[in-house]
Chain A
Amino acid sequence: MKQQIVQNVGELPTYGFGPRSGPWWGAMSFMALEGMGFAIAVGAYLYLYAVNPTWPIGASPPDLWPGSVETTLYLLSIIPNQYTNRVARRHNLRKVRVCLIIMSLIGIVLLVLRGFEFAHLNTRWDNSAYGSVVWLILSLHTTHLATDLGDTIVLTVLMFTSHAKPRRFSDVTDNVFYWNFVVLAWLPLYILLDWVPRL
């Protein structure tokens, strides 16, 4: 068939930020399905909560401090995270490097805090259905925290190598985006795990 060129797209950029880029939509899709995973886990928790006359079962509620400290840190981390977003969009390599290091450190601290949170749940996964579902939900979120931390660290290293090409700034903003999801997913879980047993 004869071709008829109606437009030349040669001047378009080779990467974009946010909804203009493919990976952003990929991240968005994964957040959607992972968010659904959290929702289902929360649903399972509430179901067990509804069918059991006592809650928590055979345990006292989790100690409040690890979760609360985490929550505070999560909320505060949004500030450097958004700043990372801004400097990445401005292609400021030096500042992006600093920001990524800070975000990696925050992730490591949160991971350590998460260890304390497990230790202070006051139940084990094999104690009762309550213990099982609490451990499941916390592990599910920890997996996200750990994966995002791994991603951030790899990206940090990448930005110090010759691969720190302009398109990597788009990857940095996607990483920022995903971190916001990790924070956002945590907030309902914090209320669920730390406060619902106290109702």
Chain B
Amino acid sequence: MTLVTQHKELRDDVLDGLQLSTRLDRIWRTPSGLIGALTSVDHKVIGRRYILTAFVFLFLGGALALLMRVQLAGAEKHVLSADLYNQVFTMHGSTMMFLFAVPVMEAFAVYLVPLMVGTRNIAFPRLNAFSYWMFLFGGCFLWISFIFNVGPDVGWFAYVPLSNLQFTPSKRADVWAQMITFTEVAALAVAVEIVVTVFKLRAPGMTLDRIPIFVWSMLVTSFLVMFAMPSIMIASTSLILDRLVNTHFFDPAAGGHVLLWQHLFWFFGHPEVYIIFLPATGMASMILATFARRPVIGYPVIVLSLIATGFLSFGLWVHHMFVTGLPQLGAALFTANSMLIAVPSGLQIFCWLATLWDGRPVYRTPLLFVLGFIVVFVIGGLSGVMVASVPIDTQVHDTYFVVAHFHYVLIGGAVFPLIGAVYYWFPKISGRMLSERLGRWNFWLAFVGFNVAFFPMHFLGLMGMPRRVYTYIPDMGWDRLNLLSSCGAALFAVSFILLIANVVVSARRGALAGDNPWDASTLEWATTSPPPSYNFDRIPAVDHRDPLWSDTESIRVVAGLSAERREVLLTSLAEADPQVREASPEPSIWPLLTALATTVFFIGSIFTPWAVLWGTPPMAVALIGWFWPTGSREDEE
């Protein structure tokens, strides 16, 4: 050890070109083989897995949606039993919200944020690995339970008393509650990583007003995660305790209160919508700038809108509870607040419209999805203004009008930009372009299919069709619109099959992308596609919001980081001045072991409270193993 520390450390300022990249690759590369796969802490490896896993859950959740659409295509159909239908709609909502929408946004952030801010790995790479494993195990736990007929059947909101022991004596509600704990642990971990990555790992010179908008949106989102998710964790823990050790949080007979659950749930549940939506707006802004061939108009307006949306999102939760008999004036204040959130969202849309107005749009698939997003999302936003009104909400609450509304917001507002993002960043991640021809088909099928599937639901809701019904009686006259909606759903599903086909084919045979196929302006395009294990051979130095547009000939970099061990550059919070060369962790098996120990603890504790006792030591051992220095390169001075 002493020998190594005495010799002068090799730095990236004395090496160049191939020599430098070979050395860097040797220290940053994820080891090959199974061990490598299980120990990797590379944000790109984990980000890819995270994205892929989240999309698998999207397809599973989508399959459930199709099952529901088949069941509802006509009155009194018997494709699914009431019991199975209730599991299916609960699984659909839970999968889409907890296993797809939130994770997929965080997954893109895990992959992209370190590249966009110009660093070599995410902050706390081992926590990142742990987060992925927790997400994977939580998702598998939910789906395996479902396959064994223990799928939750109490709705993705699991209202008490329906979800308490008396009315759900099986383990189904426990599975739901513990899946929440898994995914929230995973989400919180990523949120912390993103915050610290954005605060401390930005390239020198990337001052606050030069941060790419997607990174801003993820920063705000991460704060939302940090302040919203504790609420649902307290809620799900209380629910499990009520069910397992006979506490009385939600038991009116012993001083508990059933509306406490709804407050806790929606205090999380409403920001959750923005946790999904804000990253999508960030993606839209990035794509728009590239394909409108100019920077987005109103950068400060957009950033402030993101922040304002974040704050406002914590003051809306009561609009999910307008029909629970709350005081009238209080409810009216939440109406005003809920409508006010339309202002920052509106400002973002106005900025995008202005950008397109002045830009020279290049109509590639990513832009098509963003344009579709604007058209569709505005409908969802406006129907959101409607449901924020107490009198209107008392009529449309828990009807298909609301189903239509939030699918316009979540699919229109998040999935459209997300698919656009897949087309936009796939070349960076895989090194190959997706087929443009299939992409256009994909877009138009999605756009038409989506609207045919969901627009009729507005009418169904106004005609009185409630949500979460496994069937309806023939006299209601709801069959035709339901059939139309089911046809649209089928069309929409085809568009996703095209997406899969496009990805599978293009990953092997797509045209090579090169570093910057779209001539975009941000740092992730300054490195190769796919990026090397160390992301950048020298850390870029930024002096412009659009560094690749301001100087197309050369890139400014800093030198002096180690070429012998994993090192990242920490910069100051506001000005991004270089401060510290900090060691970055080596691959490790301990995050996986910790996740396994935590899984045993979580799953055990829905069967016996003693799991808290015997489940803790393995977790403690794994954590000590995780943090104990290995005496290898990362520990040396």
Contact = CB atoms under 8 A, between A and B. Distances in A.
Interface of A: 1-16, 19-22, 25-26, 29-30, 32-34, 36-37, 39-41, 44, 47-48, 51-52, 57, 125-133, 135-136, 150, 154, 158, 162-163, 165-167
Contacts of B33: none
B257 A12 contact: no
A27 B244 CA distance: 32
Given A22-B570, A25-B199, A166 B255 contact: no
Contacts of A44: 234, 238, 249, 260, 264
B553 A48 contact: no
B199 A15 contact: no
Contact of A33 (B188, B526, B557, B558): B188
Instruction: Identify which of A8, A20, A33, A150 gathers the most chain B CB atoms within 10 Å of its CB.
Output: A33
B559 A9 contact: yes
29 contacts: A1-B526, A2-B555, A3-B554, A3-B556, A4-B556, A5-B538, A7-B560, A8-B13, A8-B558, A8-B560, A12-B560, A12-B578, A12-B581, A21-B580, A21-B582, A29-B226, A52-B255, A125-B245, A126-B248, A128-B254, A128-B255, A130-B255, A132-B241, A132-B249, A133-B249, A154-B624, A158-B628, A165-B635, A167-B635
B27 to A, nearest CB: 15
Given A16-B580, A48-B255, A126-B248, A40 B192 contact: no
Interface residues of B, number: 72
Contact of A165 (B260, B515, B636): B636
Contacts of A131: 247-248
A166 B637 contact: yes
B635 A51 contact: no
Contacts of A19: 573
Contact of A5 (B227, B257, B260, B558): B558
B631 interface: yes
B254 A129 contact: yes
Contacts of B124: 22, 26
Given A20-B579, A29-B195, A3 B256 contact: no
Contacts of B251: 129
Interface in B259-277: 260, 263-264, 267
B46 interface: no
A111 to B, nearest CB: 14
A128 B242 CA distance: 11
Contacts of B631: 162-163
Contact of A154 (B123, B246, B627): B627
A115 B541 CA distance: 54
A22 to B, nearest CB: 5
A132 B247 contact: yes
A13 B579 CA distance: 8
A103 to B, nearest CB: 18
A44 B230 CA distance: 12
A9 B234 contact: no
A129 B255 contact: yes
A3 B557 contact: yes
A22 B200 contact: yes
A154 B623 CA distance: 11
A40 B558 contact: no
A172 to B, nearest CB: 13
B579 A16 contact: yes
A167 B637 contact: yes
Contacts of B554: 1-4
B637 A14 contact: yes
B559 A14 contact: no
A154 B204 CA distance: 35
B48 to A, nearest CB: 24
A179 B572 CA distance: 25
Given A20-B580, A167-B637, A5 B557 contact: yes
A1 B544 CA distance: 17
A6 B556 contact: yes
The binding surface of chain B is classed by DSSP as mixed
A158 B631 CA distance: 12
B318 to A, nearest CB: 13
B356 interface: no
Contacts of B583: 14-15, 167
A1 B234 contact: no
Contact of A150 (B237, B264, B570, B620): B620
Nearest to A13: B580
B360 interface: no
B231 interface: yes
Contacts of A165: 629, 635-637
Contacts of A16: 570, 579-580, 582
Contacts of B254: 57, 127-129
Nearest to A7: B558
A9 B576 CA distance: 13
B226 A36 contact: yes
A7 B578 contact: yes
B557 A25 contact: no
Contacts of A21: 570, 580, 582
A163 B631 CA distance: 7
B579 to A, nearest CB: 5
A1 B558 contact: no
Nearest to B623: A150
B229 interface: yes
A22 B557 contact: no
Nearest to B538: A3
Contacts of B264: 40, 44
B72 to A, nearest CB: 37
Contact of A29 (B196, B578, B627): B196
Contacts of B260: 44, 47-48
Nearest to A56: B255
Contacts of B234: 37, 40-41, 44, 136
B557 A4 contact: yes
Interface string B600-637: 00000000000000000000100010011101000111
B200 A125 contact: no
- Which 8 pairs of residues, A with B, have the shortest CB-CB distance? A10-B560, A132-B247, A129-B255, A37-B230, A129-B256, A2-B554, A33-B226, A9-B560
A129 B192 contact: no
B480 interface: no
Contacts of A37: 230, 233-234
A129 B226 contact: no
A55 to B, nearest CB: 9
B570 to A, nearest CB: 6
Contacts of B201: 22
B578 A4 contact: no
Interface in B191-240: 191-192, 195-196, 199-201, 204, 226-227, 229-231, 233-234, 237-238
B561 interface: yes
Given A127-B254, A136-B241, 10 more contacts: A6-B556, A8-B13, A8-B558, A10-B560, A16-B579, A21-B582, A25-B199, A129-B249, A129-B256, A165-B635
